[in-house]
């Protein structure tokens, strides 16, 4: 158990809908990262938050957004869903000191999203 929790574990929805994925980082971790794992794209970085502020953006679509709340949990919002958004979405957390570090990212169990 990494200490990172994600809910829900599975999500099935229809095209055009909106969903929210939730992540709670490990105790003491300030950084939260979101990754998408799909068969064709592999594991890709989406976005990172550090202590409530957005720090880095990767290959995140405009239809997707995220935020980190004062209690450090994070939510990833996916809207106008398409079939191609079906994937495993991971949240990871780390202590998150800015700059080069030996920080290790610990991953949650993932949310498997299926868009029908």
Partner 1 sequence: AQKITQTQPGMFVQEKEAVTLDCTYDTSDPSYGLFWYKQPSSGEMIFLIYQGSYDQQNATEGRYSLNFQKARKSANLVISASQLGDSAMYFCAMREATQGGSEKLVFGKGTKLTVNP
Give me the residues that bind partner 1 (CB under 8 A), please.
2, 31, 33, 35, 42-45, 48, 50, 55-56, 58, 88, 90, 92, 98-110, 112
Q: How far is the CB of 16 from partner 1 (least distance, A)?
A: 26
Nearer residue to partner 1 within complex by CB, 65 or 79: 65
Q: What is the spatial distance between Cα 29 and Cα 36, in angstroms, rounded to a whole number?
A: 21
Nearer residue to partner 1 within complex by CB, 38 or 79: 38
Q: State which H helix or E strand residue 27 sits in.
A: none
Q: How far is the CB of 54 from partner 1 (least distance, A)?
A: 9
What would the two tokens of residue 109 be?
A: 């169990």
Q: What is the spatial distance between Cα 2 and Cα 104, in angstroms, rounded to a whole number?
A: 11
Find tokens 């794209």 and name the residue.
41
């Amino acid at each position: 158990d990494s200490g990172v929790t994600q809910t829900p574990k599975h999500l099935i929805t229809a095209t055009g809908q909106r969903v929210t994925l939730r992540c709670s980082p490990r105790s003491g971790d300030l950084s939260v990262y979101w990754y998408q794992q799909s068969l064709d794209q592999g594991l890709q970085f989406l976005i990172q938050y550090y202590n409530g502020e957005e720090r880095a953006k990767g290959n995140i679509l405009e239809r997707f957004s995220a935020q980190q709340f004062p209690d450090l949990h994070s939510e990833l919002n996916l809207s106008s869903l398409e079939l191609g958004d079906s994937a495993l979405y991971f949240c990871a957390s780390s202590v998150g000191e800015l700059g080069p570090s030996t920080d290790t990212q610990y991953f949650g169990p993932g949310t498997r999203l299926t868009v029908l």
